[in-house]
Structure 1
Amino acid sequence: MVEHDPEQVTIIPPAGPIRVLCLDDEPSVLKVLRRTLGFAGMEVSLFDCGEQALQTLAQQDYEVIISDMRMPEMDGVEFLTKARQIAPQSQRILLSGYADMDSTIAAINEGGIHNFLQKPWQNEALIHVIKDAAEKYRLKQYNSELQTAISSQNEQLKVLNGNLEELVEKRTAQIRTVLRQLETANKREQDEHKATVELLYNFINANPYIDADMAKQIANLSGLIAQKLGLGDKVVQLTKMAGYLAQVGLLAMDPVLYDKPLEQLSSEQRKLFFTHPATAQLMLMPAQHLSDVGEAIYHQFEKYNGQGIPKGLKGKQIPIGAQILAAARDYVENLLKNQGDKETRRGHALEIIKMYSGSFYHPKVVLALEQAIHADMSTTNQVGSMNIINAQALKSGMELGLAIHSHKGIMLLPKGHIFTDATVAKLQQLEMQKPTPFRILIKT
């Protein structure tokens, strides 16, 4: 159990006008920048000399640095490179009226620019880029201050935070390596998502602190809700995959964050816990064909009324996959917490979801959830008639009707697998090591 200092430290996210440093040798450009950014409520410092700008940068903090490319005494590459050394966290934006690819590449490699705009720019685009850059700067600053506060409050959390980044990088690198291997092997079949999802689901299943059966329930229910909403087969499958992988980001975290109920975590631990959807999206990034799945997982804690996280999206702004996942996840979690027989637990769990229809959840999603719950869920994964046999009765060419798992829950063969002589022999060998024969469902 983690002990807590009763004196809590409150960290307030950075606020106030965005601070921007602008460097350009043309007075007319600086005048336009002052007027445009000033009207947008930003604090602007203007310079036509690179050395003076660097001296000021060493004394004051700026969230965004904007520089022209072509200047007589110090060009944009040299200035941004030095600015990066002085204020590495500041976001750097390059302006240029020339289509100079070599200089742009040098600015990216040496100056570490975060964005590039050509002159003449559109004011709306410039303001959008600056606001986005400032948000990234403030988020990094806020996270840094939060980590410092956590470390000073609790020694155990200090150790946790110190190891978390290394743990995330290590486990994310492992999963990315596997995903890249799958991507390479399946370039000709980009629509075959199933192998990727089953592989990651096996990682979840092998973790003793994560309830893989709950993930399976969320996935099946998400697919049924999507069907009831009349979404296409592709969307139904992607939504189901998001249900399977909703918790995959937890694999990159210390088990102390998820081996006990959320209400038993400290406020700092809960903040770290709710970063797992972003970690999941990062893990899935190499698998481009799963981008919609990653998007649904990333936004799974948004609320219909706009009071959720991480972006505070509202209504139709929230991806439909995320809205379905949120309702299915919360229903299954409530179902597993409730007491009583199956029908009683279903009723109580559903009532909780219906209570927040229109605030936390889309009313149409809640209605589809209710319809899905009353559907015959036991037949959703079966097609046609089945025969149940053991491995000794298997023959090459038979089609597997239901996935086969080991006694630890690890998937051995997926549903739909067509047996070959090799897989028959391997399964028969495994069956010889079991105390009881396999029960294998074969399509007829």
Structure 2
Amino acid sequence: MADSLPTTARLLLVDDEENILRSLQRILRKEPYELETATSGEAALSMMEEQKFDLVISDARMPGMDGPTLLARIKKKWPYCIRILLTGYADVTSTIRAINEGQIYRYISKPWDDEELKLIVRQALAFQFSERRRLALEKLTRKQNKELKALNANLENKVLARTEELKETADMLEAAYTELKQSYVTTTEVFSNLIAKRLPIHKQPNPLVITMVKAFAEYHNLDEDLSRDLSMAAALYNLGKLGWPDELFFAPSDLLSRDQRLEYLKYPVNGEQLLMSLEPLKETARIIRHHQEKWNGYGVPERLQGQDIPYGSRVLRLAVDFIELQYGLILERKVSRDNTLKLIRRYKDRLYDPEIADQFLEVCIEVAPDVEHDDPEILVLDTLRVKPGMVLAKNLYAASGMLLLNEGKELTAPLIDKLASFEKGEPDGYRYTLYVHRPDDEETENKS
């Protein structure tokens, strides 16, 4: 038996409307599934005879054989295939019939929510996997009991059988424990998605913070337990913010009022307290508690200094600051990827562990994301590469935060020269990053 959830599954999508099938395929195409389609109940049954499917999604209303009839026949002949019904709000009768006769896992009302549909499919497959494991374990238990009864006639055989049983039980417990630990990681990432819902889609840091700590752990060969604890801490580091009002949740931390600042500084401890009752998350909670400590001893909640700060907390602080600076969740302005890296270098002996900061910067060369730049129609240039006639796609700020040029400003040769002159006077080698619309002539040249 496998010790982890399956990496793929075979799904059959059934609907007489091609546009619905295409929509379902689009939603599920990035999931680890093999997708097949059928435009009628009869065609679906024919495919079921020839191929094995883990899950079937069927529309309720179709010419000829309708969805409830199809799912009832699948239940009778392939009872372990998960069945989901797509139904309109008015299809109460067919939905009840599908529940009673087809014993469906879920029904999904049209129009559906894409993310909810994907989550339902994942949950259905996880349920199916658990059921298969349970049945396999029951089968194994029955087999072992039968063998044990046969060996009871002989004491020596009985002792040997008992020894073997204990070994198998220990192996099963070890496998179950490994699976449980992985389940905690998966669960924390699910909760991370719920936390992210409080923020706009373009300001959700948790997924990228998770990516950064996993990349760091892999790059520097951290041990399995620490890597797992770090990953879960990255998923849940802002759990303590869930009770905040929107104005506090959305505001950059350097713009908070005195009272808001006091509330802000409590969030690492609040997050730890929410996890205290979960023994497997004990070390994760400790990492979260101290991830706002500073290397120089002026952080929260305990003003720990240097090596007294837990190692995982020092790594998490770097990942959180790297992503949140780019998202504009720390400073009033968003900081470009390159300038974020410069800020980490600048403060690596005050805010961050210098050694870990250098290791983190090594990782950033390969995998660090630029959260601002995901549009192929926007170029990211420095002052040496911009040309007259280019138009700014984003506001340009000086190192002090002062607005230099507005989005939509067309660059001229004298303006570019003036920017280069201002840049030379910026502290600590600060360099301007300009986001400009790709010129039409460049698009034409690239296409040709």
The interval holding the TM-score normalised by the smaller chain is 0.3 to 0.5
Who wins on radius of gyration, i.e. which is larger? 2
